[in-house]
Structure 1
Amino acid sequence: MNTQPTHPRESTEAFNEAMRTQSIISVIIPTLNEAKGIVSLLATLAPVRKAGGEILIVDGASPDGTADIAAPHADRVLSAPRGRAAQMNAGAAAARGDLLVFLHADTRAPIETLLRLPDLLARSGRSWGRFDVRIEGRHPLFTLIAWSMSQRSRLTGIATGDQTLFVARELFERVGGYPEIALMEDIALSRRLKRDGPPLCVRDRVVTSGRRWESTGVVRTLLLMWSLRLAYALGVHPDRLSRIYGHRSRLD
């Protein structure tokens, strides 16, 4: 038996080669009351399944039948306690892939780029990342907001759920997954992942719905998000932030 310790560079190179040649992609989608749009979303992800990846729906007890509607179009449909962090952790625990992609139900990913993520990570030498984003809608501020989200993420190394985080399973498990908090779980996870290195910032864009912004007012939502992130940075508990945001134990 070879008892020589493995050099860190050799471990990194082995990981990168495995990501390039052997990686299985698991797309994990937390849902709550997404019956109207879930079939069209899953149709866009059919190439992932065809390429040997898998799609997991993790439902938070939707009363509108989301789970039953999604079942014929996904590899697995799971139930979990309501809340994005808990749902995404449940999906990660059940996934068989070594690359985990966390996709919101109101977001569409560029499929060709999604399928290339293992190679992109291997070439970059990184273990996690996110996409640039475009907000779907007619409001003239959406382009500027999306651009600023992407640029801020490049500068800070922090990603939001709207940007579709992806991470090697080994790293996700090593950092303990998503902190199961009421809000800002994506920010908290990014902070954990940054300890391993910066994210791969993919310039191809995911397209996320602007419905949340339009329903409460774009400027009002923008100011609210800024204030919540500042409060979180200053140490305000996520439960309190969630009440301010108006979640009350529901997903957007």
Structure 2
Amino acid sequence: MISPNRLLIFTRYPVPGQAKTRLIPALGAEGSALLQRQMTEHTLRQIEPLIQTDRCSAEIWYAAGADAENELQQMRDWLGAERQYLSQVEGDLGVKLTAAFQNAFKRGAEKVLAIGTDCPGLGSDRLKEAYQQLESHDLVLGKATDGGYYLIGMKRLIPELFRDITWGTSEVLRQTVAIAQSLNLSIAYLDELSDIDYPEDLPIWHRAKEYKTPLSVIIPTVNEGRSIQATLQNIQEACGEEAIEVLVIDGKSEDDTIAQVQAAGIPVISAPRNRAEQMNLGAQLASGENFLFLHADTRLPAGFPALVRQTLVQPGTIAGAFQLQIAGDLPGLRLVEWGVNRRSHLLQMPYGDQAIFLSAAAFYELGGFPELPIMEDFEMILRLRQRGGIRIVPAAVKTSGRRWQRLGVLKTTLVNQAMITGYFLGVPPDRLARWYRGLDSASRDRPIP
């Protein structure tokens, strides 16, 4: 039996370049589409308690294009075949809303609400309140902080409310209220909430989103076709039966990196060729309670999700990393490993190739990696040390020895120390990055280690 309370959910299939376009400058086309996917799924989870009690029936109104049959199948494959789907009509938002409300009332609905999927604070309790307010009011509006509304509800079609509105601006709510008042409609308002429309709104999403998995592994890549397949296979084998999330953030690779990652069924998000920006973007889109930042040529130890979890619950711990092994038999590599591991333990100063990990909450509180052209992991560790302990897991990652093979053990060590010394002496990071690339020409096609 269909409930007389109807909920119209407006969304679209997350196609890169078409979804959440105002966020593309911050997240890229793929990242914005992924966020659209996450927010739609979040909204459906939030309203599910109301649907399951038969207090209302829900319809998903999706943006349709030329291939209607295929688009409907995409929606069903994504959100489930058991839901009811209707395609939005062509026209502006007012035309779409008018058609959807008209359809609902024609099919017997008595109280109808319409919502989007970009307001993470909207849940079942506010929907219940909206239906209750319609018992004694003609119109209910959920005020959005940007001057629009995140919910509109009525007991009969009032098409005037959707005409002559400057959609997408801060005037939407004011104009709607003015029309309602001119029609002598009684209005009820819900608490003000925030939509996620612009890059500056993203912290709202971080605070509201649920953790879907215990751990997100975030891998920045640039031309890592020689390494990435083995890295992804290692992650799959080393995590055992634990559910984790893997995100690859690619800095415009020119080899087959992207094709290899996509063949493994893992999302690839495009980003600028800067490892700090890539890792920050990955964190913006990740849904794990904890983040692990992994270099594309580094292998994780067996059972690493449990090791991360066990480390971060230790009192006073804000972050962690693994001991380091370097692949290869070059003379001096074992000495380098010993020195790195001693430094990490004694000074709490691991570097990025040791797979730094921390909670999502700590990452957001810190503001992410400083977006430097070099030394971003070093600066991140300095900031973390001011807030808590950094523990080293008694298990090792194994990183590629390609830099040591290319430059030699002594030269690689001297270059690394020169970068650290220069950074401490206040040499601008841009200049350090140019020096580094001059010393290691092969680094020009991938992020600086």
Q: Structure 2 length normalisation: TM-score?
A: 0.49
2:331 to 125, 140, 163: 140
After the TM superposition, which of the residue ranges 163-172 and 70-79 deviates more from structure 2? Answer: 70-79
Shift of 1:23: 6.1
1:5-44 alpha-carbon deviations (Å, 9 max, x no partner):
xxxxxxxxxxxxxxxxx96110001111111221121111
Do the aligned residues in 2 keep the contact of 1:161 with 1:186 (CA within 8 Å)? yes
Query: Which structure has the higher relative contact order (CA within 8 Å, separation 6+)?
Result: 1
Task: Name the counterpart of 1:27.
Answer: 217
1:166-203 alpha-carbon deviations (Å, 9 max, x no partner):
01010011011100001100010011111221101112
Size of the aligned set, in residue pairs, is: 231
Do the aligned residues in 2 keep the contact of 1:86 with 1:180 (CA within 8 Å)? yes
Q: Aligned runs of 1:48-127 on 2, under 5 Å?
A: 48=239, 50-127=241-318
Counterpart code for 2:323: D
Do the aligned residues in 1 keep the contact of 2:222 with 2:445 (CA within 8 Å)? no
Counterpart code for 2:447: L
Task: Name the counterpart of 2:230.
Answer: 40
1:95-146 alpha-carbon deviations (Å, 9 max, x no partner):
0001100000111010313433112321454131111101111112111101
Two-structure CA RMSD over aligned residues (Å): 1.8
1:44-65 alpha-carbon deviations (Å, 9 max, x no partner):
1115485211111000010112
Q: Structure 1 length normalisation: TM-score?
A: 0.86
Cα separation, 2, equivalents of 1:143 and 1:110: 18
Q: Aligned runs of 1:141-156 on 2, under 5 Å?
A: 141-156=332-347
Task: Name the counterpart of 2:187.
Answer: none
Provide the secondary structure at the position in 2 that maps to 1:99: strand
Note the residue ranges of structure 2 that are not aligned, 5 or more in a row: 1-211, 438-442
Task: Name the counterpart of 1:168.
Answer: 359
Shift of 1:221: 1.2
Do the aligned residues in 1 keep the contact of 2:249 with 2:271 (CA within 8 Å)? yes
Provide the secondary structure at the position in 2 that maps to 1:75: coil
Cα separation, 2, equivalents of 1:157 and 1:93: 26
Cα separation, 2, equivalents of 1:134 and 1:76: 28
Q: Aligned runs of 1:224-235 on 2, under 5 Å?
A: 224-235=415-426
Task: Name the counterpart of 1:251.
Answer: 447
Indicate yes or no: 2:350 matched with 1:159. yes
Counterpart code for 2:307: R
Note the residue ranges of structure 1 that are not aligned, 5 or more in a row: 1-21
Do the aligned residues in 2 keep the contact of 1:162 with 1:208 (CA within 8 Å)? yes
Bigger radius of gyration:
2
